Chains A and B, each alone.
Chain A
Amino acid sequence: MNQSSSNLYTMPSVNESRKYIYTDEELIGHFQNGDENAYVELVRRYKDRLINFVFQYVGDYEQSEDIVQDTMVKLYIKKHYYKEIAKFSTWIYTIAKNLANTELRKRKRRKITQLSHMSREEKQIDLPAIQPETGQEVQNEFAHKLIRNAIQQLPEHFKTVIILRDVQELSYDEISNIVDVPLGTVKSRINRARIQLQSELQELK
C-alpha cells in the first residue's frame, strides 16, 4: 500500500479544480483491476464517515476503530464481491453495519456489563451532574452524552436507521439498501425510532 503516490485520486485543490474527481464506483473499479492507490483513496474517504456511524452504534471508540479496520480489511480482501449494481457507499456501510452487529452480539454473549443491562439508577450515575453555573460547552457535552445513551437504549433495528438518517444524513433509498428492507418499512421504522428516542430521553432526563 503506497500512500505517497495515492494523490492521483485525492480531491483537487481550488487551483486544480479542472482535475478529474473519481467517483467511489470508479475507484473500486480501479482497485478491482489491481490499483492499490485507489484503495488508499477509498479508505481516506470513508474511514471517518464509518467510524462516526459505528461509534454511535457501538458506543466505544476503540472497538469502533477496530470495526472500521475490519471493514477496510474486508474491502481489501473481498473487493471482487462488489458489483456495480449498488452504490459503493451502500456496500461499505452494509459491511460496517454487519460487523458492528456481530460485535454487539459477541458483547452480549460475553456478558460484558453494558449500559442497556444496567438499572435506571446505574445509568443515571454514569451521567455527569449538571450544575446551573456550568458553561455552555459542558452543557452541550452533557446533552451529547445523554442523546448517545438514549440511542444505545434503542433496539438494533431502530438504532441503525436513526443513526443512518439523522447522524449520517443518508437518503431513505440508501438506508433501504443498507438494511435490506423496503422503503416504506424504513420510513415507518425511522418515525417509530424517533418517537422511542424521545421517550428514552425523557426517562433519562
Chain B
Amino acid sequence: MERYQFEDLISDYLENTLTIAQRKSFDSYLESNPKAKQLVDNMKNNINELNELPKVKTSAAFMKNLQGRLSAERRIPVESTAKSFLGFTPLYATVMTGLVVAFLFVSIELFNPEKPNLPILNKTFATHADEGSISNKHEPTENDDNQNLADVESDSLDQLDDDIKKKDYSKQIHLVND
C-alpha cells in the first residue's frame, strides 16, 4: 500500500467501512509504519473530541427576540401596500393609465359614427394601395399627369356645384318684416 492510498482510506478505516481485504492491507501498513499508526490514533481521538465538544444552546431571550423580529417583518408588507395604487407601484400605475387612455382614444376614433374611419389610416391605406398599383403598372408619363390633373379639377368643381345645389336655405332666410 502506498502512502496516498493509505491517506485516502483513513476515514473508511475509522468508520469501519473497508472490505476485509482492504482492512487487512491497511492493518499491515500500520504495523510497518509507526508514524502512520500515530496519525490514525490522533485522528480517532480528534473525532471523539469533536463529538464531545460541549453543546451550545441559544439564549433564554431567543424566542422573545425572534418574536420581535417576526412582528417587524409582518409590518413591512403593510407599509409597502400604502405606497401602491390599486396594487400597482407608482411606475406601473402610470404606465397602465397611459395604456388605458391610449386604448380609449383609439377605440373612440375607430367607432365614432360621425367620423366613419380614421383619416390617417385611410390615407395610409390609400397610399399603400396606390404604391401597389404603381409597382404593377407602367411608369407615369407627362400625359398621365395632365389627364389626372384635369380629372381632379373637374371632380372638385362638380362636387362644389353639387354641394351648392343641395343646400336649401329657403327656410333659414327671414325677411325683416316677417
Rounded to whole angstroms, the CA-CA distance of A68 and B63 in the bound complex is 11
Which of these, B10, B53, B73, contacts A195 with CB under 8 Å? B10
Interface membership of chain A positions 66-84, coded 1 if the CB is closer than 8 angstroms to chain B and 0 otherwise = 0011001100110000000
Interface of B is mostly: helix
B47 at the interface (CB under 8 A from A): yes
Which of these, A65, A144, A166, A198, contacts B62 with CB under 8 Å? A65
B154 at the interface (CB under 8 A from A): no
Contacts of B81 in A (CB 8 A): none
Which of these, A1, A64, A69, A194, contacts B47 with CB under 8 Å? A194
B69 at the interface (CB under 8 A from A): yes
Q: Are A52 and B39 in contact (CB under 8 A)?
A: no
Rounded to whole angstroms, the CA-CA distance of A30 and B108 in the bound complex is 53
Q: Are A167 and B50 in contact (CB under 8 A)?
A: yes
A203 at the interface (CB under 8 A from B): no
B165 at the interface (CB under 8 A from A): no
The count of residues in chain B whose C-beta lies closer than 8 Å to any C-beta of chain A is: 28
Q: Are A166 and B50 in contact (CB under 8 A)?
A: yes
For chain A, give the interface size range. Answer: 35 or more
Q: Are B51 and A167 in contact (CB under 8 A)?
A: yes
B56 at the interface (CB under 8 A from A): yes
B43 at the interface (CB under 8 A from A): yes
Q: Are B56 and A72 in contact (CB under 8 A)?
A: no
A143 at the interface (CB under 8 A from B): yes
B127 at the interface (CB under 8 A from A): no
Q: Are A55 and B56 in contact (CB under 8 A)?
A: yes
Which of B49, B50, B51, B70 gathers the greatest number of chain A CB atoms within 10 Å? B50
A91 CB to closest chain B CB (Å) equals: 18
B42 at the interface (CB under 8 A from A): yes
Q: Are A48 and B66 in contact (CB under 8 A)?
A: no
Contacts of B55 in A (CB 8 A): 48, 52
B17 CB to closest chain A CB (Å) equals: 9
B64 CB to closest chain A CB (Å) equals: 10
B79 CB to closest chain A CB (Å) equals: 15
Known: A76-B70, A201-B42. 7 other contacts (CB 8 A): A1-B67, A51-B58, A61-B56, A73-B70, A144-B49, A148-B53, A197-B46
